[in-house]
A and B are shown apart, each in its own frame.
Chain A
Amino acid sequence: MTTPRSRPNMATLVLVPVWGVVLAAYVGTMLWTAQISFTASRLLPVNEYVGFDQYERLFASARWLVSIQNIAIFGFLFIVGCLVIGFVLAVALDQKIRFENTLRTIFLYPYAMSFIVTGLIWQWLMNPGLGIQKAVRDWGFESFRFDWAVDREMALYAVVLAGLWQASGLVMALMLAGLRGIDQELWKATRIDGIPAWRVYLSIVVPILRPIIITAVVLLAISVVKSYDLVVALTNGGPGIATEVPAKFIMDHLFTRQNIGLATAAATVMMITVAAVLAPWLYMEYFRRQRAGGAA
């Protein structure tokens, strides 16, 4: 990054089309989306500006409010759940156990599958007439219930459960790599001091794993924001609007409900939210550190 250059530069030339793509595909589309959200567009985009009308309608819409509430609950439970399960699995696998490779493979394989596949699998397992509920009732537990996917109260937790199944292994893999990087001397030292293992994990290991935990949270948060496939395959937003999420709200209004203005207003809200969370993190993570590194 510190190569001095004088001639007109092939690298700059090569990056010109990249600039074009980035400006058009990312910056341009974001501005365009925001622009449409201030118009009265419905089936087709129009240039009649209506100020914040679409935003007022958006936040008066029960469907949107439920979507936001759902993504908040789903996001919280999914991220915390993945971190806890992933950490516990990683710690368990790190105890010099037999069949470690096999177990690691078993815990991680769902992550290779798409959210569509995950959603369909759990849709079947939680289908009251066919899945686990029927099997357990046939064994004689007549009052057993596991019909989350079709139960208004539980459907959102069905989505969480499927998400945990798919992504916990990812956190496990990341944390296991982190645990393997911890100096063995630490364990000897804490053993001499007679500190119980669980305390060592909570007070010493977790802080050491902080960068990995942050990475995991970022990755999981991206899949929360983009959660569309999982909901479509598992519940399609139902029953009723019990599992609607913002991404699905936007897609429905763009392509089936023909309300482009409202959809782009929702997209703009998502965009601003993501940017507001992202900007400080990116600055800390890349640009501040890079400057420090560049000076060295």
Chain B
Amino acid sequence: MSRSIVPAATAPALPLSDTPDASARGPRPRTVGVGRVGLYAFLVIAAAFFLLPAGVMVLTSLKSMDEIRVGSIFALPQSLDFSAWVAAWSSACTGLSCDGIRVGFWNSVQILVPSVFLSIAAGAIVGYALSFWRVRGANVLFAVLLIGAFMPYQVFIYPMVRTFSAVGIYNSLACIVIIHVIFGLPIMTLLFRNFYASLPQELFNAARVDGAGFWRIFAHVMLPMSTPMLIVAAILQITHIWNDFILGLVFAGRENLPMTVQLNNVVNSTYGERAYNLNMAATILTAAVPLVVYFVSGRWFVRGIAAGAVKG
């Protein structure tokens, strides 16, 4: 932005309506008129496509079943009726019990909090050990972790079920938390390793000269500098663990099924006429936590995706 003097003559294709000041900042090539209108039309249509499902869900969740049966999915509800939301939260049936999706919500919270905390802690420590300390076999360890990150869960699931059964904690809260920590380890290690590799080595050397050891350097030098990466890691893990389906289905046990699994049970195991309004309310409630994270964290969410994109 500091290039202030660009002679207008070097930019002959600029539209005439542009002020010299704007041309000095060198905007992208663009056409006025038809092209511009077409561009906005395209963006509006694309936005409509992306918004349509959410819109339909909110509208339907606010209607009564009678209204749903006769009306169009695009029609506005005749009156605001939140009873489907109340029912979805507290009395929807999942399999045998009818306590609503709130059971799954609290299960997910119970799974989420320790899983997020422990997986980030583990990833930060391992990433730190791998990036600043000379450790024998570090490359091999890292390679195995990377392979683990890409393998489908189906490859690991059965032996893990057997092992956890043998230990006696299969189908428990502890089991699903341990599973999330194990499967979160590769991506968390990758994130923190790449982040610490970008910090100046002098910082570490200075702390070493001052006589600080492994844990002191971690706690007093590295951790305080890690805030951006901690936020990114937290966003990634919160959305990822909340959205998990298959691991919760297999390892959590019937008492601890996460919200995604219970949602699928509510929707896909009912017989007779489906309560679409209730189903949609339950779906919105299940999507609410990651959506709130997304809306609140904004650009951090984008950074988290980019950081989770293996390149760091």
Task: List residues of A whose CB falls within 8 A of some B CB.
Answer: 1-5, 9-12, 14-15, 18-19, 21-30, 32-33, 36, 45, 89, 92-97, 103, 105-117, 120-122, 124-125, 130-132, 134-135, 138-139, 165, 169-170, 173-174, 177, 184-185, 187-188, 190-192, 194, 197, 200, 211, 215-216, 218-219, 222, 225-226, 228-229, 232-233, 236, 246-247, 250-251, 254-255, 260, 263-264, 266-268, 270-271, 274-275, 278, 282, 285-287, 290
Contact = CB atoms under 8 A, between A and B. Distances in A.
Q: Which of B42, B133, B263 has the most CB of A within 10 A?
A: B133
A271 B159 CA distance: 14
A131 B276 CA distance: 11
Contacts of A110: 50, 53
Contacts of A282: 143, 146-147
Contact of B146 (A192, A197, A264, A286): A286
Interface size band for B: 35 or more
B106 interface: no
Contacts of A215: 309-311
B159 A32 contact: yes
Given A95-B30, A125-B52, A229-B245, 11 more contacts: A3-B133, A10-B215, A19-B141, A21-B185, A111-B305, A117-B283, A124-B57, A135-B72, A173-B306, A233-B264, A270-B154
A19 B189 CA distance: 13
Interface stretch (B6-14, B89-97, B225-233): B6-14
B287 A117 contact: yes
8 contacts: A19-B141, A21-B185, A120-B263, A165-B53, A187-B26, A226-B153, A267-B152, A282-B146
Chain A binding site: helix, strand, loop or mixed by DSSP? helix
A115 B245 CA distance: 9
Contact of B28 (A131, A134, A187, A226): A187
A25 B11 contact: no
A116 B129 contact: no
Contacts of A108: 294, 301-302
Nearest to A107: B50
Contacts of B49: 165
B271 interface: no
A121 B287 CA distance: 11
A114 B72 contact: no
B280 interface: yes
Contact of B305 (A2, A135, A173): A173
B166 interface: no
A231 to B, nearest CB: 11
Interface of B: 6, 10-13, 26-30, 39-40, 42-43, 46-47, 49-54, 56-57, 60, 68, 72-74, 122, 125-126, 129-139, 141-160, 162-163, 182, 185, 197, 201, 204-205, 208, 213-215, 239, 242-246, 250, 260, 263-264, 267-268, 276, 279-280, 283, 286-287, 290-291, 293-295, 298, 301-302, 305-306, 308-311
Given A96-B27, A174-B305, A109 B294 contact: yes
Contacts of B11: 188, 191-192
Contacts of A260: 158
Given A15-B135, A187-B29, A236 B68 contact: no
A115 B27 contact: no
Contacts of B145: 22, 26
Given A173-B305, A271-B155, A114 B39 contact: no
Contacts of A263: 154, 158
Given A120-B263, A267-B154, A10 B26 contact: no
Contact of B147 (A29, A190, A264, A275): A275
A12 B298 CA distance: 38
Contacts of A22: 141, 144-145, 148, 185
Contacts of B73: 125, 130-132, 134-135
Contacts of A111: 305
Contact of B132 (A3, A121, A266): A3
Contacts of B68: 130
B274 to A, nearest CB: 9
A45 B146 CA distance: 29
A135 B134 contact: no
B199 to A, nearest CB: 12
Contacts of A124: 56-57, 60, 276, 279-280
Nearest to B26: A184
Contacts of A274: 150-152
B283 A121 contact: yes
Q: Which of A25, A132, A246 has the most CB of B within 10 A?
A: A25
Nearest to A117: B287
Contacts of A27: 144
B158 A177 contact: no
A197 B36 CA distance: 14
Contacts of B242: 114
A192 B12 contact: yes
Given A114-B242, A131-B73, A191-B29, A26 B291 contact: no
B159 A33 contact: yes
B159 A26 contact: no
Contact of B155 (A131, A138, A270): A270
